[in-house]
Amino acid sequence: MKKAATMIEAKTKEIIKKHGGDKSSLIAVLQDIQEQYNYLPKDALATVNEEMEIPASRIYEVATFYNTFSLNPRGKYLIEVCAGTACHVQGASRLMDKLQRDLEIECGETTKDNMFSLEEVRCLGCCSLAPVVRIGGDIHPYLTQDKIPKILGNYRKQG
Ligand code: FES
């Protein structure tokens, strides 16, 4: 465990250095950490705190404000079910129910095989395609429950 923490610390220092170590590069540093680990590990945030001399409260404020950041480990593919008005009206909650059943997880959780994390988001900005679900960055428009098993299967095949 200690070794993993040291490796995270070293990688985080490298990322901070790449961005010049200036306080104003906090978001860019967090983005790179998120990309590297698919979430923001505690040890990485502690390193940012020490190396960049940014208060932990400020780091957590930024980390929780932006949807792209996650403080918990995420699966390979993030499934974002849009719960904005247009998607809600078109049955987004039924899609969420189906995904929860098929993945055997609740919203906010990650599958045991670390393949999928399921989250709810507010308006993905393409309301005319409602209901919309974004998986691993891909928009799936006009989604219906019956299409879900095949779509999930395709992502599983990609590995
Ligand atoms: S409400 Fe779903 S994309 Fe806007």
User: Does 159 score more than 80 pLDDT?
Assistant: no
Angle between helices 42-52 and 26-37 (to 10 degrees): 150
Distance 126 CA to ligand 1 centre (A): 6
User: Does 20 score more than 90 pLDDT?
Assistant: yes
State in words which class domain 77-158 has. alpha beta
SS3 41: coil
Structure tokens at 79: 């499934």
Average pLDDT, integer, range 108-133? 95
* DSSP-derived secondary structure for 73-136: ---SEEEEEE-SHHHHHTTHHHHHHHHHHHHT--TT-B-TTS-EEEEEES--S-GGG-S-EEET
Mind listing the pLDDT tens digit for each residue in 101-117? 999 999 999 999 999 99
Residue-range domain boundaries for the chain: 2-65, 77-158
Residue 124 Cβ inside 6 Å of ligand 1? The answer reads yes
Structure tokens at 3: 């070794």
Mean pLDDT of the chain: 94
Mind listing the pLDDT tens digit for each residue in 27-52? 999 999 999 998 999 999 999 999 99
116-121/138-140 β-pairing: unpaired
Structure tokens at 10: 């070293």
User: Does 1 score more than 70 pLDDT?
Assistant: no
Mutate to test the pocket of ligand 1, among 80, 90, 127 (most ligand atoms within 8 A of CB): 127
Query: What is the pTM assigned to this prediction?
Result: 0.76
Residue 46 Cβ inside 6 Å of ligand 1? The answer reads no
Average pLDDT, integer, range 83-87? 97
138-140/133-135 β-pairing: antiparallel
Mind listing the pLDDT tens digit for each residue in 55-77? 999 999 999 999 889 998 889 99
Give nearest CA residue, ligand 1 atom 1.
84
Distance 78 CA to ligand 1 centre (A): 17
Angstrom distance (rounded) from CA 138 to CA 114: 18
Residue 115 Cβ inside 6 Å of ligand 1? The answer reads no
Looking from the CA of residue 124, the nearest atom of ligand 1 is 3
